[in-house]
Structure 1
């Protein structure tokens, strides 16, 4: 290694043989998030186009789509060798994007097409990110994950930082269809990076000689199309992760609905809405990147996963109490930005560390079930709960108080799950010595 490479490896807490693989993981998430965040402002504007009062229906439609898609994905995972599984998933979604390019060129102003795209991209986002993190939990072992996942997650933040900028800069020149085509190309680049990572796994990752034995990636993941559900129901640990995700989505949905309502009132023009959402996304990704590069890894090493999973929910709880006292767009936007920065920089890397020591069926099928069905089910339930709270007519303060309660429970559960993960990593480290 050159002196520069050695300094870079030390800076990201990587060992010499891990550097290229970590950079490949960083680049893979950059491609995925740059593509998605180019499309996210379009999704938000299309959700408003169908009527803010109908957002809970879109959330419910997304949940139904998840219920249909997850067994199909699990069936594919049981038939295709793990080393090729992501190629099938990303290839399918890339073809979908090309179809939307054609449809938007034919009928740009269709409200129903906007609704279909909103539901589709909500499914797309969770699937491509979930299987990418399954890949990382498969490639790196538990100790490597604790050291390296924060930097790998920084690739998502850089991509999320570039995506909104590209969306704002290129929407006029390329249009919505052009941004979709560019996102499809980035998905293809992610597939190429995945191939390198799976090859590296056998040399120096979780499949290296001397590592804890694991199932061969050249065989399909065992189980049936519903084994993700049965795995979760049969494990208190996985049930705890599912409950953690449900609380996360409840907090996020309450904030999201309030944001959509206020943006629709203050920015009636669709192009202005895209720019507002783009600016918020830019601030979120900039803050998340700073935390991932300079804070997250040090917190994980010194204070443990329990702090990664509990500190942000505690801050969100305080933010909801502030929103109950001062229910303005400025306070809401600040809380939304803090919540999303915390999720990307602390909660998501910490959550993925929980899966690294588990078997392939848990990493792929149970994890995918939690990341998709549980996540979007939480969205749908909390969406209707938010609509019910609005019907009571007590304004934003009641929603904020319920959100504060959910965030407090979220923080407590995060501490419990993180403590279990910390004990397991400590036991593995002691076993090596």
Structure 2
């Protein structure tokens, strides 16, 4: 008879940390998916041809906020900078609530554009902070078992947020949904604080990995070899260093640079698909509420399918097929999806491609990508990771948005534009194979106070 451990892969000593992590990410994504359909509708309402400028505005905002975040990471314990980050965005969300409620109608277009940029920045920062904490709290071996389940928490929050938005958008004004998002952000802050201040969910002694990456043999031997648990709260200290260390480490380290390039391919191609979606939806739906409901239904389908895969497939795929295969799923789906759109750029095909591609990202690519960061130093888990997740991510948006607009200006239509994405997807596939076979720094040997945290460490086994 299946047990809870065999289904979830959670071991007895990990339940508290996993429960807090699920509450944290579920609340976070519930808040985001309350806002996402509103953002997408506002972006389409401002005109598809203006979307590249919104992406440019998003990148500019990201470049301003990234050094401020790095400064907070440098000077503050993680419990404080996590709370500060989320409450910073919650306070601005309340400002938007006030503007939408009381500002003159003539301000609506400008407010909508500002809100689009704000949600795009909010999305990357708060999600990056969550995964930074996860790769800091959980070790590489735990990541392979647990990140699929944590990703299911992402999906469950998104599923509930999409369902609430889809059900209430025609009955309640959007400002009520935005106010509800603030409440869930505060729940996320509470859960993050409890998780960060608690014990670091150490790998049980009997499961400590050996030098070649395999499980140790007798539990008694592993217990003697295992390091003593870190005192509670030891990881909750300021990282120090310099503000731009994350950027320099990304450019200097081929492993981090490979992760950044993987993200760049993903965002460029996602932006291509987003613009394709905006063009098709703008022609198919003229009513604002109908567009918002359409986006919410797509989100609902994505999250429902993703949840099943994350609960029953992700961890098993990582364990049996390995990291390389898991990283390759999304590029393969992209090759097939963009090829299908080239043949038939319709709403029906768009929905199928968008759903499958987002499902492949959330169920497979995202957990696999986060496991890559467990092989890096603690400093890079926050600094370099945040730089990659924000500045590099939005740079990909820029390349994708202006590249799409440039190709349209050259006369390419909805059927020809996806053909450009097919060879890019193939190059991305090759990068996924290379990256999954690389060996990053041994995160298990890294310690916050180590003076050589960026020196090459004992290699990990290949994924």
- In the superposition, the TM-score normalised over structure 2's length comes to 0.87
- 3-state SS of 1:174 partner: coil
Name the residue aligned to 1:286: 304
- Separation in 2 of the partners of 1:373 and 1:418? 23
| Residue 355 to residue 268, structure 1, CA distance change in 2 (3 Å) | same
- In the superposition, the TM-score normalised over structure 1's length comes to 0.93
On the 8 A contact 1:309/1:350 being kept in 2, the answer is yes
- Separation in 2 of the partners of 1:215 and 1:192? 16
More helix by share: 1
Bigger Cα Rg: 2
- Tell me the CA shift for residue 234 of structure 1: 1.2
| Residue 218 to residue 307, structure 1, CA distance change in 2 (3 Å) | same
Match of 2:33 among 32, 37, 44: 37
Name the residue aligned to 2:69: 73
On the 8 A contact 2:169/2:293 being kept in 1, the answer is no
Written as runs of structure 1 = structure 2, the 5 A alignment for 1:102-181 is 102-107=98-103, 109=105, 110-181=108-179
Name the residue aligned to 1:192: 190
- Tell me the CA shift for residue 313 of structure 1: 0.8
Match of 2:52 among 56, 61, 64: 56
Q: Which moved more, 1:23-32 or 1:118-127?
A: 23-32
Q: Which moved more, 1:122-131 or 1:393-402?
A: 393-402
| Residue 284 to residue 362, structure 1, CA distance change in 2 (3 Å) | same
Name the residue aligned to 1:386: 404
On the 8 A contact 1:142/1:356 being kept in 2, the answer is yes
- Tell me the CA shift for residue 419 of structure 1: 2.2
Name the residue aligned to 2:79: 83
On the 8 A contact 1:313/1:411 being kept in 2, the answer is yes
Q: Which moved more, 1:23-32 or 1:359-368?
A: 23-32
- Tell me the CA shift for residue 327 of structure 1: 2.4
- Separation in 1 of the partners of 2:273 and 2:242? 36
On the 8 A contact 1:9/1:19 being kept in 2, the answer is no
- Separation in 2 of the partners of 1:415 and 1:312? 12
- Separation in 2 of the partners of 1:175 and 1:428? 54
On the 8 A contact 1:305/1:422 being kept in 2, the answer is no
Q: Which moved more, 1:96-105 or 1:134-143?
A: 96-105
Name the residue aligned to 2:239: 221
Written as runs of structure 1 = structure 2, the 5 A alignment for 1:349-360 is 349-360=367-378
- Tell me the CA shift for residue 310 of structure 1: 0.7
Match of 1:263 among 249, 273, 281: 281
- 3-state SS of 2:272 partner: helix
Q: Which moved more, 1:414-423 or 1:389-398?
A: 414-423
On the 8 A contact 1:67/1:373 being kept in 2, the answer is yes
Structure 1 gap ranges (5+) = none
How many residues align? The count is: 425
Name the residue aligned to 1:22: 18
- Separation in 2 of the partners of 1:237 and 1:212? 28
- 3-state SS of 1:327 partner: coil
On the 8 A contact 2:376/2:440 being kept in 1, the answer is no
On the 8 A contact 1:308/1:350 being kept in 2, the answer is yes
Structure 2 gap ranges (5+) = 205-225, 445-457
- Separation in 2 of the partners of 1:429 and 1:413? 19
- Separation in 1 of the partners of 2:337 and 2:5? 37
- Separation in 2 of the partners of 1:252 and 1:289? 21
